[in-house]
Structures are given as structure tokens and as C-alpha cells.
Structure 1
């Protein structure tokens, strides 16, 4: 009985150590307009409500959170291109237009021009000090007009992952990828529009996802060793 009680306490301690924060719905009226991560331009129209940002006029613009993320995090939301066939995407590790990581997705009429060779379809590009490199590309994958896509991007243990899914068929990715960037994924996160017309909405950020490895509380390693020893002793009939 005592072993069972101690084991229960051990499990509870582990659960407490691995607790996570919930995703927080973002008030987009507090976010910031910034230079688009490929061209460093800010142009075209923008219309912001608490839960959506509409970037139109075939413009170029990033729209980023005011509070940086640090360590492990997940950002999710929805996006829909309602005109043209150029680029919509996500940005992270954002310092400015020359220092960032971007996940771009084009509709068949654009490309990422700051890398050589140009990237097409869907890509991850990291740029530091104006020097850009492609770290992921799915060159034949294009978005469809007026489809609402669920997006998720995460950085867990330094590994960057993303997925895009048609909201009519949630959970089934139509585009996804993973890479390990050379630069930190800490910093401002957000969305961007490259010569396109795009609405982004319902954006959440989880700053402590459940997959985060949380250090064990002080003394728990000793408790673990004690429990293992006690269990072995009881099995021997002691």
C-alpha cells in the first residue's frame, strides 16, 4: 500500500513538472506591421480586427507579435488567399527584413527570389544579415484560391515544423515540412503577404507546449531512486 501511495505521488510530481500553458488567442490589433521578410517592403492595404488581418492590394507586408517567443512554442491559425497567385506565409525569428526565418507558400505565380536557385511551391528560408538560404522546399505544392487553410508552426527542441491543412478536412495536411535552422527560432513571430491578397485569422500562440521538456522538481531524482529501490526490495520479499 505504501509503495502504491508513493508511486501516486511520484506520478503527480511528474505531471506537475510537465504541465503546459494553453494556446492564447491573439488580439491582432496589438500586433505590429513590419517589412515583408523577402523584399523588405511595406505596401498595399491592411485591415485589422481583433481576430483577423487582411493584407490586400497585391502588397508586401509582415505582421508580427509584439512579444517575442522564447524556447519551445506553437503558433496556429487560419489563412486564405482571395485573389492573385503569389505568396502568403508565416514568419518567425523576426528581427527585420534581413534577419528572419520564413515559411512561404505560393499559388503558382511566384517564387522566393533571395535564394539561388529560386524556391518554388512551399519553402522554409532562413536569412541572417541579408544572406538567405533554403532549408526546406516542396517545389510542386501550391495553395488554392479561396480555400481556408489551418496552419500550425512549432519550434520544439530547436526543430522547426509546419503543416497546412484544408479547414474542410482538418488534421489532414496538404503541405508540411521540418527543418533545423542555423539561427535561433526565438524572436517575434507572425504572418506575411508577398504581392498577394490574404486574410489571416484566429491566431493562437502556446508559449509552453506540452511537448516541452520540463526540468524535474528538486529532489525528484532522489525520490525516483528511492521508489525503484523500494519496489525491488518488496519484490524480494523484504
Structure 2
């Protein structure tokens, strides 16, 4: 399957930042993987216009589980589609920790995303304490089973394993630890979705950079990456993409 490289800009980026997307198009024109940039909501429409007809897709960082209603400040999946988004990140550890999103909430959001025609990137990952306590596998298995909606297929769903303790810290699990988690996630995907589960791309995220990307992509069942800070600069992101191409 083709690797998927998704850049999560988080709460970063003004209109001037869109120049990085133009640069990314130039630097990755020969890439053989799928590339997604997820800017803040304010830039999605302009970014989608910018990449129209190119090899880059635009995604969002969250959506609501309802199609419309009295949900001040929220964004529905159909609204995202309306302005050109094709992907949406759901259940990121920051959403789970800061906004107390449950697995059920993530599953409902993913179902809404699928219903609107978006591909969901569902995030799972353990904390440092959970890793130290030896329950990392139990945590990510529980998150996956609880966050995966019945609407999930190999075409409309990707999974991102992001150990919370590795996000923005410079710390990275060993290749053996990544392999263990990804193999377990693949096993559950096949249990839950049958053969469709083999087609779901499992990304790794958490302090991915050009110096470690190639070795991470060599791990079985690592089908790309969800990249945070390193995706803000086109030159940095392009180096990671080249390692996956």
C-alpha cells in the first residue's frame, strides 16, 4: 500500500504560512506516497484551492459528530468537505487529554466524517506512566476498539499511533516498541474489519524527523507518519516524505 504522510499544523499558521504549501508542492512533486496537510480551520479553504489538481490533499484537525446544530464554535464534517478538506484527524491525544474526549466521542466523530465523505485519521497512544506500568498495549487496544466506528473501511480510515510521551519531546520509542504496537493494532483491525483491516494504513507519530524517519518506515506495518512540528516548514516535511517515498 502507498504510505500516507500527514502534517498536523495544530494551532499554528497565518495566511502567510500558505507559502509553505506551495514550496511543499515543488519539493515533493515526484513523491510516490500520499501527502496531506492539516492546517487550522481558518486556512483550509485557501489551502484547498492552492493544492487543487496537485498531489497534495488538505485535511482538518477535528470535527463535530453532528451535521449541524447549536454547537457554538464547532465545525461539522460536511462543512469541512464544503471548503475542500478530504481528511480529518480525530482523537489526537491533545483532544483526549485537554477536552476529555472519550473513545465513544471519537467513534461518533469518525462515523460523521465517513458519512460526509472524509477519510478519518484516528489517533491512539499511551502516556509515559502507562508505558512504564507495562500497560501500553492494553491502552492502545482499548482505544482502537472503542474509537473505530462500524463505518470504517480500508479506504475511509487510517490509524495513527502516537505515544503521548513522544509528542514534541524528542523522545521516540524503540523500533521494537513501535513494531509491537503496530502489529497489535493490525491484528485488531483484521479482527474488527476482516480483510478490510489489512488495507487500513497505520501511521506512526511522535517526534518524527528526517534523521529517524527512514528507520521508522522500515518497520513492518508502519504505513506512513503523522507529523507535527516538522510539518510546519516545507523543507523539513519534504525530507521526511522523501524517506517514505
TM over 0.5: no
Q: With a CA cutoff of 8 Å and minimum separation of 6, indicate the structure with the bigger relative contact order.
A: 1
Tell which structure's C-alpha radius of gyration is larger: 1
TM-score (norm 2): 0.28
Higher strand share: 1
TM-score under structure 1 length normalisation: 0.28
